[in-house]
Every structure is written in structure tokens, then in C-alpha cells.
Structure 1
Amino acid sequence: MLTFISVVFFSCKKETTQNEVWSSKSDILFLDFEKEDINNNFIDIKGSHKIVKNNRNHALEISFKKDEKITGVKLTPKNNFKLNKSKKYSLVFDAKSLGDETTFLTVYAENGNGERVRRITNIDTGKFKSYFFELTSNKTDINSGLRDTPKAWETEATHMKISGLLYNMDFSEIAGIDFFRLEGLKDKTILVDNIRIVESPERDPNFLKGIVDKFGQNAKRDFPIKVHSDEELKKIADVELKSLAEYTLMSDRSQYGGWKDGPKLDATGYFRKEKVDGKWALIDPEGYLYFSIGLANVRMANTTTYTGIDYTDEKLYHRDPEDVTPEDSKGIIEIPTETMKTAHVVNKLRNDMFLELPKIDDALANHYSYRRESHFGPIEHGQTYSFYRANLERRYGETSKNSFFDKWLEVTENRMRNWGFTSFGNWIDPAFYHRNNLPYFANGWIIGDFQKVYSGSDYWGPMPDPFDPEFERRVIKSIDVVSKEVENNPWCMGVFVDNERSWGNESSTKAHYGLVLDGLSKGKDSYLKQQFMTILKTKHKTIGNLNKAWKTNIASWKELEKGVDYKKQNEFPEGMVADFSVMLTAFATKYFKTVHDILEDKMPNYMYMGCRFAVWGITKEVRESAAKYVDVFSYNHYKEGIGTKYWKFLEEIDMPTIIGEFHMGAPDSGLFHSGLVHAADQKDRANMWADYANSAIDNPYFVGVHWFQYLDSPLTGRAHDGENYNVGFVSNTDIPYPPMIKKAKEVNSNLYTRRFGKKIKK
């Protein structure tokens, strides 16, 4: 049994290590680790801590274990720490990473209502540095439309970044502070000292004004590859073009990127899968062993950002109900000149961010577009602008309409091959499909007016009801479009259908079976409910038998058919959970079978690559159902690499698997957010990319690993949801990050010998 004592709070400062992060504001020292009994306030989670001597004082040493779902330490005082409700505060601490490598860290702060905010940063090596974040989100930040903003006041302390979304929470009481790592690739240790609550300074009222220059770059900060003029941008492009013209394909590659120096297996003329000497592999159309390593989202669809302008022409809002492409996957939508004349400011906060936007008669005005809906954010629809496209035109010129785009296609392919990548990832512009220079994956979406089901963790929206006949009709329509785009091209490896669906998760029974609970609450008009009724009647025969198994008192089958709501319940009898499992399996099986059968009918030469599971939204029943129908499992896994504990299930299903998305970002890019995983700088970022890529290459079940994405997010956030991350191999001025390219060539040049060793004889 754990016994907690109150944390001792000090009003004094420890001079030897504490850094003052901003002047003239009161500090309340939360912990300085000088008390001998302080260990009683900590709970280790798959890690360890100890108080150590640091110079003349003490600090908290936290050791994080690799490959654990969560590892770290929880600081939980006996009594909540109360703050002045009329003031705004920031959580601040000093820290450094021990050893030669930096540490990606997650910090949780919990308020008196049990709500938590999560912030992330990279802890540097060497001297102690101060790290901070505001405990209560500012309304301006939420309304900015940015996933996270720059610092609102001057300080040398590192601004920790939001992980998730910005919410306004009451932090007048603090119930706990946690220091964690999530599925780290290596053991890491940090020192933490002087955890304190500091009254936040007055914010600069203009901290978001004029932050974007004409190139879409950070106007208030310099960084290594920043461009200062059109002439400089074109000069950089000319130097790269000359270099790319002299490259040759890596000598061990087949024309499709397979291992020419390895064994030659059966050639079918299309990509396929095969297990070779205990390792899963893809086989290219010529029969060579193949591993898919590349970059995803190579397209213009996510390059636009909201300008704070809208138009009065309501025809822009119209969507064709038969459209198969979601709004965020649309390319540039041209806006008629007459419509552009009706432009008016609808969000001054955003419009004031831009120092210079083209006038409607400017040569670069063709890079304006329109977004009819957003996933979330303060703007529902409006004018957008693609600085990336505009910079391409600046780099390559325009001899005919959109000729810069044709040059971009050529340069992008040459880069991929020069850097040693064997394929594109998901979501590439269909203009690449028939150039026959680099293998790719096609993509389909299932959207439409079919019935929906909610899992309770519906980040991207509800699930489709796969038993609704409209669902099958929409799958047919979508795959038909994809089939016509691909046209039986052998350079296409397979098809991804959907992305990061909310299947539920195994954090609790309620979260696990959210789709079933929602289905049971529906009435007889629900196709899913009808299927559930058939399953339950077939198994239990009578309502009495069902009540006995479920420990319920449902009056009749008719009452159950009307809908029973167990979504507020947290504990469920064993018999009920067993039936939940059967119903969830039926749901997932119908989904995957429907998609598989239609793909098999319309595109029989291509692999079904699955729906790109998110690690936060997958369950055992869903995995087992998918395994019957997909050719290759696909996961988006935003961590530091591929460990062993989480992926243990691969031994059970024995399926080839591909990473559809991962990334790392760094603060020296000029962007305001580094991404979902943080590095110290571009060199550290490149090393982290290599560690992740190699961890997948070394795993016998993985047949590919795809980085998300080719280019950085817009500085002011992609229009879809405000993501403003340093996630590109190239910047928004289309300049490659040198450390990333150097490391990519290094890893990719050894790809096949690392994966398969010496030549294998069959």
C-alpha cells in the first residue's frame, strides 16, 4: 500500500541550478528535491527514479525503459496544490539529458477535476535548460487555427508543444505532474530540478502579427535554409538541378527498386508478397526481393493554409454527393476572378499573420484555393493559399500554364531515386501514376451518406455501418475510380482504403467495445442493430437466456430492438463481454470482406494494403478480422521506432506489415511546432529517422516504412486541422534538409544487405 505525504512548496529559490525564465514574476517552487522524504511523493511506472547530488544540490534522476508502452514517474501530492484563480500560470522545470543523446519527453499536468494537458519537448544534453508551458490555454491560441503558436513573450526557456489539441481547462488546482516516455526505442535518463509554478507574463498583443513572409516562412526568425529573395531561391534550385542530372540509380537496384543483387523469384508482372527464409518480403514485378521505403503525401492537397478571407459566392460551398474524395485530399480549386472580387475578412487574427499575400491580378494569384470544410479549427470554410506551389513557380518559372508542376514531378522522382528510396508512400498525386519511374500505392476513401456508428474515440469521425447497402455501393464507386486511375499499371503495388478509422481501443472494456455499445443503443432502423439482433437471437434463443448471460432484465426482444443504452456503464458481466466480442468481430469482418471482395473484382493484380490502423484505435477482434482479408497490414505509428512488446501480436497473425506514417521534427526549421515526435535539431532528427527506419528494416514482419510527409506543413497550419509541423524532407520553399538527405542515402544504400544479408539462394 502506497502512502503519500504532502509535497512541500517553497517560496525561496535555489540559486545554483535554477534559471529565471522571465523577470518580475513570482515563482512558487513546487519541488527542489532537497527533502529526504520526497520519494514518498512518486510512483514509478515501468521505470525508476532517485534523488542524486548535482553539484552542491540535489536533482531528480528519472530512468526510462525502452520498449514500454509508458515509462516514467508520477508526482502525486496528497493534497491538490491551489493557485490564485484570477491569475495565469506556467509550469516550469529545469532538465538535461544524460549521456550523448537527447531525450524525447512527455509531460502531463493534471488539474483538480482529473483533466490533463499533455506537452512534449526534446530534452537536450549538456547544461540544465528551462522548459515551460502555460497551464491554461489562451483563447487567442485556440482561435489562431494553429496546432501550436510561437512564444507569446520573450524568454530563453524552451516552449513545450501541445500533443493533441488545445483546450481551455481550469488549473486553479494542480493534482499531479507526470514525466513520461511512450514506447521509446532506447533506454534514456534525464535529470529534473526546480519544478515550479510561475505566474505568466503579459503576452505581447502582436505576437501573431506579421509572422509569415511572402515565401510562407517565419518572418521573425532566421534558420539554416531560410530564403531571402526570389533570386536566391532560383539559384538554390539551379544548383540542385545540376546535381540531380548527374545521379545514377543505386547499382544494386532493379528498375522497380528491388534487390537486383539478390535472388530472383517467380515474376508475375506485378508486386506481390512472399515469406523468404523466415522474413516477409515484397516481390517486385521482375521477381526481385523488395522493401518499400519512401515518403508519403507527395501532393498539393495539404499545402494550403487559411488566409482569414472568405467570399459571398455560396456556389463554392456545394459538394457533389457522389464525390469519392474527401475535402482534405482535394488539390487546388480555382476561384473565378469575379468571385475573388467579393473577398472579405472573416478572421482578422489569421489575416494579420501574413505580411504579403498576392493581389487577385498578381502572377502568383493562381495558388489561391478554396476549402469548403475543415476537420476542426476556428474557420469552417474559406480562402486558402499554397505558398509551396507559389515557391515552385518561383523556383522553376512558368513557360505554360502550371509548367512548374511538371518540373516538380520530374524533380521529385529524381530526388526519391537519388536519395535511395524505393517507392512513394500513401497519398501521392495521381499525376505520378503513369510516369513509370517509382513504384507507388493508390488510395481510396469510403465516404458517403450511409449510416454511421460511433466508437467513443472518433478522432477523424464516426465509422461507416458496413451492413448498410449504401456502404457497399460507395465502396464500389470509390474503387472504380481508383481502378480507372491506375489502369492496370505494374508500378502500382497495392491500394490503401481509408485511414486511421476509430475501431476502439483496449484501454477499457467500454473503449474496446464502443462500436458495439453504440450499435445496441440504436433502433430497428439501424442495419447494424438488425445484424446484432440476428446474432443474439441465434445464440441465446430466448430473451431469458440473454438476460441470464448479461445479468440484465430486458423485457423482450422487442424492447432490445428499440435500443438499450449501456454507454454510461463501465463494468460489464463476462457473458455480455463475450457477446460484445462476437458482434465486434462481425462488424469488422463485414467491413474488410466488403472492401476485399470489391478490390478482388475490380483490381485483382494489386495487394489490399488495409486501412492504415492508428495505434490508438485497434483491437484484437479487428486485427483478426482484417488478417483474413488484407494482403499487408498497415499501421501509422508515431513513436521513436519499432520495438518488440507492442508488436508481439505479429507473431500470432504472421502477416507482412508496413508502417504507413511516422515522423520527427526539430525546432531549427522556423516552424512553430516540431511534430508528434521531437528531435533537438536537424542532425538529431536525421539520426532519429535512421533509428526508426532501421528498426523496421530489422523486423522480419515489416516490408516497408513510410515517412509522413514529403514537405513541411504550412507555417500557419494546413487548412484541414491546423497542423504546422516540421515533418518534411523538404521545406515549404522546396529546399531539402541536408542532414535528412545525407542520412537517407546512408541508410538506403545498405537497405537490402541489412534486410536480407548476403545473396539468398532459393
Structure 2
Amino acid sequence: MGTYALPAHAFRAIADGRLDLQEENSFRLQTPAHGGTAVMEVADEQQKAWTDYHYVTADIYHEAHDVLVVLFSFTDDKGRTITVHFGVLPQVETRLCLPLAALNGEKLFLDRYPGVMQSVLRGDAFVDRASIKQFAVATVPSITARSFEISKLALSESIPSFNYAYTPYVDQLGQLSWKSWEGKLRDREELAAALHDEWEELQQGNQALDNWSQYGGWKSLRFAATGYFRTHFDGDRWWFVDPDGYALFSTGMDCIHPAGAMRVDGMEHLTPPLPEREGEFADAWVGEGYSFGVANLISAFGANWRSKWKELTEQRLKVWGINTIGNWSDMEFIRESTLPYVYPLSDFPSTQYKIFRDFPDVFSKEYEEQATRFAEQLLPLKDDRRLIGYFLRNEPHWAFVDGLNLTEQLLRSAHRFESKTVFVKWLSEKYGAVDQWNAAWDSSFMAFDDLYDAKLAAAYLDSGSCPDDFSTFNRIMIRRYVELPSRACKLADPHHLNLGMRYAWVSSEEVLEGCEAFDVFSINCYDMAPSREQIKIISERLNKPLMIGEFHFGAADVGMLAYGIRAVETQADRGLAYQYYVEQAASIPELIGVHYFQLNDQPVLGRFDGENYQIGVVDGCQQPYRPFTEAMARTHARMYEVRTGKTAPLQHCPKEIPRTGF
């Protein structure tokens, strides 16, 4: 296999890092808790190697107590930078492999190689491999100093082999095997006893429902009933209104299902012996993954485990004060529950050729036809009164690039998109004559059709009034992207609310174009509290209420290796963080719901894409985090008093610790 070693002596430590050279292409990087970086300046004679070879590979090892998030960053001669975040397990050697083709920016989540946790790409829309000027290895801030060794760092022509030693990492319950913590269970007998005790406790009754309507609404405030969920502005604040007319501030729980499955492929060297796919634990095999959480339910409840889980979970949610079944929840559970729910539509309209990442050719006939088919999945649900509404999709990948210029990406492509044809026609109608267009753009095109030549177009992507025209056409495309499927869905199902696309964040003001078509604008907000100012701005811009589709907090005091996107020190702090977030949210007039992500901790060895966060309300052994659930119940008991201004929201936010989110 052909390789090109990247010499360790070419790196220098910056940002408080300390670099110790080992062998020719190996070094140890030590960083303080706030992070550090090792940088290699790419000499002119080395640049060709970045196009001749197809992968960057390296072995990495560290002995910390949690996941190391290591960054590979690439900067080209135009100053564009792309950074790839890798999650690396502690105390086990891991081989990293990055396809250099990823620097075209087209994929947000990269393929997962054996032993590696999630690999995520951040930064600019693309980096020119032919002109890479700098390569850096870095760490993100952590709760402690870091020390890790990088060896065999090289460019490679092909994917390397992954020959790992067998090192069981979790026990038969799915718990981290080499760490102890309060609440760690010893065996299946102890697990079963704990679940049966909780079952008996929950059968004693539940007073949390006394002031709830049959749809989870608040009986102390009522508006006109329409028979379905709707939104309402009462002059001071927005609300969901349930089918019987009762006000609802939606506190939801995402991913209500028995337990997530661990990806087995590529992690066999870290997995204990697993049961056969047929037999007592057959239900624990979910596709190609294995769910320790389901296996633990089978151990506790036997063949009737699913029915017991559904009853147990329904009672838990009501005791905790959850009034909405959130996104990606088990449909069998939804059908048998009495709680209202939201529904994620699947297979958002797309096209064979995409402008950037998942942004389709929105002016193609294909997109229009796909939008019509997409809406048809609502037909079986259109008369369900427990359905609040539907999400069109989740976190569009194209919107992860701040200030993304879709029109520039359109013209950089050699493909003749229908959207490119519409843009050329739009320009010709705006300017009339080519000379007027050239004067405005400070260009020298011979005809409007010259824009079909990507090389010709690339010479004038930032001159004259070109950026203004791009911005206008970006808005035209985004509006069509939003309005076509929204219109089709409303025709298929006029009763239920369009809850939007759950954007990860609003990466530019252009993203809001067309979002008036939603009934509710949804956003996933991973902060210690929602931004009152941003929510007000968006709501006033769209004249719509907002809801938060995801937020969470993890902690460092149990047997998990990554703490999610926002983290605090202890489970008690998690409870306070939840209370602070929800009460601050409830006090924002334009916000009508917050949904927590998620019910279960993720598997220690990672779900399908490698996320392994301690963010659940219950752990992998199906045990609730009691300080957290007690705080949830306390919060929801006060929520409507806070919402209506009768009680002040919690003012103290627990101390945040550095995250280990990828």
C-alpha cells in the first residue's frame, strides 16, 4: 500500500500545546484543559501529495477517563478551513482514517470506520485540496488536561487495515466494564429487582394528571375548541391549544423507544460475547445492531417485556410531567399511549443531483413530484386528534454552513440544474442586455448562457453586484425549498400543524425565507437556556410561534464516556439545568414548547453513527436518574405558573463543564 509519511518534525505546538517528538511520523501532544494545537505548514513541494493520495491515516491512543475529541483541520490558500471532529475512546488504540474527498464539503457526517466514534465535518463549504497550506491536529476544551500519542501519521492511497486486539470494553449489561460509579448494577438479578420495585411504586397511582385534559392540556386556561391542535396568540403570549380548547405548553420527550442499538460492525473487538440472533434475546438484535437496553428488559420481564415497557414508560412520563411524545418515538407505543404526539415525516423531497449536500434542485419537475408523494404519508394520520403536528425534516445538512451561498455552489457545479436555468433567465430579465449585466457584475461575459460553463462563472463569483444577486436568488431557492412541500402537506392534511424543519441553528437570515408557510418554526437549541432575543426576532419576522425540538444535558459522574452537547458535573446539576432551561423557556411569550433529547442514554460503544452521550433520563440498564426525574416533575408542576407570570422562573443556572459532543 502506497503511503506518504507526514514528518513529526514539521509540526509545531501552538495554543498552549506541548509537542514531544517520538519517531519519524509520531508525536505526543499534551494540552491544557482548554485545548491545544499542533500545526504543520505545507510546503509548496508537498502540496501535490494532497491530491495524489486519497486518505489521511493515523493511530491514536490516550488514557483519559472519557472520550477524546480530536480535530483534523485543513486550510487552503484562500483561507477556507474545514475541520473534522473525531471521537476517540480512551485506553484503547484507535486508527483514524479520513477520506480527503470529504474536503469538498458535501458530507456533514462522514463514514464511520472500525473503532472510531462519530466523525463530523465543520467549517467552510469546501477546501481546495490542491492548495492546502496548513494541516493541524487539535483538541477541544475538556474538564482535564489531555495527553495523547499520534503515530503512523501519513497520507495513503487506500483505506488501511483495522487489526485490533480483542479488548472487551463493556459488560453483559452494556455498562462500561473498567469503571465504577454510584448506581452501577452488579448483575441481571439486581437489575430485574430494581425494575420490579419501580413497577410496584408506579402502580400506587399518579396525581400529576389532575389538572390535565385528556390531550395533556392545562385545564386552568381554555380557548375556542376546533377538534384538533392549533396555535393561538392571546394578546400576550402564544400557545398550543388542544382539541378541547385547553392551553398547552408542550414539554416533550424525544426518542421514546425501549433502547437504542449499538453498532456491532467495526466494534467487535470491544464487545463481550453476544447471544445468538435467534432465541431468548432475539428482540435485542435490531437490524445489524444490538441493544443491551432491550436485552436488560427481556432479563427483567421475559417474553412480555415490550408490553411491560410500554406500561412502565407511560406511567413514568406522566409522573415526570411529560405531556407530549416527541420526535422519533416508537409508533406502537404512540398508538397505545393517551398522550399527544408529534410526527417526523420521512424521505424529504430530493433530486438525483443536489446543489450542495442535501439541498435539491428545487426548480426541477422531480422536486415538485417528490413533494406531492412526500405529503401522502400524512393521509393515514389526518383524522388523528392526538397528533399535534408533523416535522417536515430534521436539521438540513446544507444549513450547517454559516452564510452558505447556494447560488455560488450552483454555478461552481458543471451540472445543468433546472435551478441554474431559472437563475440565468432571472438575470436576463433583470438586466435585459449583456452589457448592462457585465457593467453591474464588473465582468466580461459574451452571453447569459456563459454561466452554464462552471470555469467561466468561477471567475466572477464575488465581483460587482454579483453577491447581491446571489443573495436574492438564494432566497428564491430557499423559499421554493420550503413552500412546495409545505403546500403539498397542507393539501393532504389540513387539520394538523406544520411544525417546520427543526433547524440546528439559523445559519443566516436567508434561512428564514419561506418559513411563513410553517404553523410553528422549530429549532434545536443546545444552550443552557433559549435565546429570548433570537426567538423574539424570528417570531416577529414570521408572525409565528416557535418550539424547540431538541435540547439536553449530560454529566460526568456516571459510567458514560461522553456528556453530549451541553454538560454539567452531576446528575443533581442536570436536574437543575433542566429546570432552569424549561422555566426560562416557559417565560418566553413566543415559545410554545421544548422537547428533551432523549429518553435513553446512548450505547457506550455508540449508536449507528458513533454518538455515545450520557443524555438519557434512564440509563442503559433502564434505571431512571432520580435527581433528574425529580427535577423534571418539580419543573412541570410549576411550569404554567411560570408561563403566566405568577411565579418567577429559576434564576440560577448550574455550572457548565466542557462538552464531549462531536
Structure 1 residue 633 corresponds to structure 2 residue 521: yes
Quick one: which of 90, 102, 105 aligns to 2:29? 90
User: Where does residue 757 of structure 1 map in the other structure?
Assistant: 645
- Whichever residue aligns with residue 236 of structure 1, its letter is A
Match of 1:549 among 418, 437, 440: 440
Alignment match, 1:532: 423
Partner SS, residue 450 of structure 1: coil
Task: Please say if residues 450 and 471 of structure 1, whose CA atoms lie closer than 8 Å, have aligned partners that are also in contact.
Answer: yes
TM-aligned CA deviation for residue 608 of structure 1: 0.5
Aligned with residue 512 of structure 1, among 404, 407, 410: 404
* Structure 1 match to 2:111: none
Question: Per the alignment, in what secondary structure is the counterpart of residue 611 of structure 1?
Answer: coil
Matched, 1:470 2:360: no
Paired residue type of 1:111: V
Separation in 2, partners of 1:584, 1:252: 48
Which one of 196, 216, 231 corresponds to residue 257 of structure 1?
216
Q: Where does residue 626 of structure 2 map in the other structure?
A: 738
Q: Does 1:390 align with 2:286?
A: no
Contact 1:147/1:166, CA 8 A, preserved across alignment? no
Please show how residues 125-524 of structure 1 align to structure 2 within 5 Å.
147-152=87-92, 165=120, 200=149, 209-245=167-203, 246-262=205-221, 264-299=222-257, 303-308=260-265, 347=266, 350-370=267-287, 383-398=288-303, 403-447=304-348, 450-455=351-356, 458=357, 462-484=358-380, 486-504=381-399, 507=402, 511-513=403-405, 515-522=406-413
Q: What amino acid sits opposite 1:273 in the alignment?
A: T
Provide, for residues 145-194 of structure 1, a one-character-per-residue CA deviation record: whole Å limited to 9, x for no partner.
994413459xxxxxxx9996499xxxxx999999989xxxxxxxx9x9xx
Tell me which protein shows more helix as a share of its residues.
2
Q: Check 1:684–1:249 CA distance in 2 against 1; reply closer, same or farther (3 A cut).
A: closer
Q: Give the Cα–Cα distance (whole angstroms) in 2 for the partners of residues 492 and 542 of structure 1.
A: 53
Q: Secondary structure at the match of 2:220?
A: coil
Give structure 2 stretches of 5+ with no counterpart.
1-12, 43-63, 73-84, 94-115, 123-133, 152-162, 648-662
* 1:619 equivalent in structure 2: 508
- 1:595 — aligned with what? 485
1:680/1:361 CA distance change after superposition, 3 Å: same
1:554 and 1:696 map into 2 onto residues whose CA distance is 53
Mapped partners of 1:547, 1:505: distance in 2? 33
- Aligned-residue Cα RMSD (Å) equals 3.7
- Aligned partners of 1:280 and 1:701 also within 8 Å: yes
CA pair 648-131 structure 1, distance change in 2 beyond 3 A: same
Q: How far does residue 112 in structure 1 lie from its aligned partner after superposition?
A: 4.1
Quote the offset at 1:356 in angstroms. Answer: 2.4
Displacement of 1:279: 1.1
Q: Is the 2:407–2:470 contact (alpha carbons within 8 Å) kept by the matching residues of 1?
A: yes
Letter of the aligned partner of 2:371 in structure 1?
V
TM-score normalised by L of structure 2: 0.75
For 1:299 and 1:472, the matched residues in 2 are separated by 34
| Aligned partner of residue 580 in structure 1, secondary structure | helix
Tell me the amino acid that sits aligned with residue 226 of structure 1. K
Asked if structure 2 preserves the Cα contact closer than 8 Å seen for 1:90 and 1:133, the reply is no
Partner of 1:678: 567
1:755 deviates by 0.4
Per-residue deviation at 1:234?
1.6
Deviation at 1:93, TM superposition (A): 2.9
Q: Is 1:436–1:491's contact at 8 Å kept on the other side of the alignment?
A: no
* 1:706 to 1:353, Cα distance in 2 relative to 1, 3 A: same
Aligned partners of 1:234, 1:146: CA distance in 2, in Å?
36
Measure the CA separation in 1 of the matches of 2:300 and 2:616: 18
Equivalent of residue 601 in structure 2, options 712, 715, 724: 712
Q: Residue 64 of structure 1 aligns with which residue?
A: none
Deviation at 1:586, TM superposition (A): 1.3
- Give the distance between the partners of 1:76 and 1:235, measured in 2 at CA: 51
The answer (yes or no) to whether the contact 2:252–2:324 under 8 Å persists in 1 is: yes
| Matched letter for residue 614 of structure 1 | A
1:637 is displaced (CA, Å) by 1.6
Q: Which amino acid aligns with 1:307?
A: V
SS in 2 for 1:261: strand
1:576 paired with 2:466, answer yes
Report the CA distance shift for 1:278/1:199 in structure 2 as closer, same or farther (over 3 A): closer
Aligned residues: 556
Comparing 537-546 and 659-668, the one that deviates more: 537-546
Give 1:361 shift: 4.3
Amino acid of the structure 1 residue aligned with 2:193: K
On the 8 A contact 1:146/1:723 being kept in 2, the answer is: no
Letter in 2 for 1:109: T
Cα distance, 1:678–1:283 mapped onto 2, change above 3 Å: same
What is the one-letter code of the residue matched to 1:498? R
Q: Distance in 2 between matches of 1:452 and 1:445?
A: 19
Distance 1:726 1:113, change over 3 A: farther
> Matched residues in 2 for 1:527 and 1:149: separation?
46
Shift of 1:693: 1.6
Matches of 2:298 and 2:322 in 1, distance apart? 26
Residues 259-289 of structure 1, C-alpha deviation per residue, up to 9 Å, x if partnerless?
Answer: 1112x21100111111123211111111111
Q: Give, as a single letter, the amino acid of the residue that structure 2 aligns with 1:710.
A: L
The alpha-carbon deviation at position 487 of structure 1 amounts to 4.7
SS of the aligned residue for 1:669 comes to coil
Q: Is the 8 A contact 2:554 2:567 kept in 1?
A: yes
Secondary structure of residue in 2 paired with 1:466:
coil
Report the Cα distance in structure 1 between the residues aligned to 2:598 and 2:500, rounded to whole angstroms: 19
Return 5+ residue gaps in structure 1 as ranges.
1-29, 31-74, 95-105, 115-128, 138-144, 154-160, 168-172, 182-189, 309-346, 371-382
Task: State the SS of the aligned residue for 2:309.
Answer: helix
Aligned AA for 1:491? R
Q: Which residue of structure 1 lines up, in the alignment, with residue 8 of structure 2?
A: none
Q: Aligned letter for 1:259?
A: W
The letter for the 2-side match of 1:512 is: L
* CA distance in 1 between partners of 2:459 and 2:574 (Å): 43
Paired with 1:568 and 1:681, the residues of 2 have a C-alpha distance of 55
Does the 8 Å contact 2:535/2:590 carry over to 1? no
Sequence identity percentage: 25
Distance 1:365 1:230 in 2: 17
1:559 paired residue number: 450
Answer whether contact 1:624 1:653 (CA < 8 A) is retained. Answer: no
